[in-house]
Amino acid sequence: MKKNKILARIGTEYFPLEIEDIFDDPYMEACTRAIEYKCKTSDKVSIPPCIIASLDRQNAKTHVYNTYNVLINAGFHKFAENLRVRFMNDSGIDLQKEPAKSKF
């Protein structure tokens, strides 16, 4: 089974990951694993509304993911809803209604 080396970035933290090619969207899987790791290893977690992922090489295409959808994918529904409410109060944008990832 082939693995892709993907770099997920949450804020200023980088998470180098090896993702199997069995996933429909390996970048979403990388973001999900990074969120899971961050939530399980930190007492207090601060997560931005977007997570960035790309192949771990120079000049690789960047994929931007809606953190709300990544949290739902990781099973952190309560955390996702808290992020959604806080972001909507601050910006007026409902992350639940925004696309799961950017389209370039």
In eight-state DSSP terms, residue 103 is -
Residue 92's pLDDT band (cuts 50, 70, 90): very high
The mean pLDDT value for 32-46 works out to: 90
Distance CA 2, CA 42 (A): 31
Residue 101's pLDDT band (cuts 50, 70, 90): very high
- The dihedral built from the CA positions of residue 63, 67, 68 and 73, taken in this order, carries a sign that is positive
Reading across the β-sheet that carries 50-55, which strands appear in turn? 13-20, 3-10, 50-55, 62-66
Residue 79 makes CB contacts below 8 A (sequence gap 6+) with: 39, 45, 47, 71
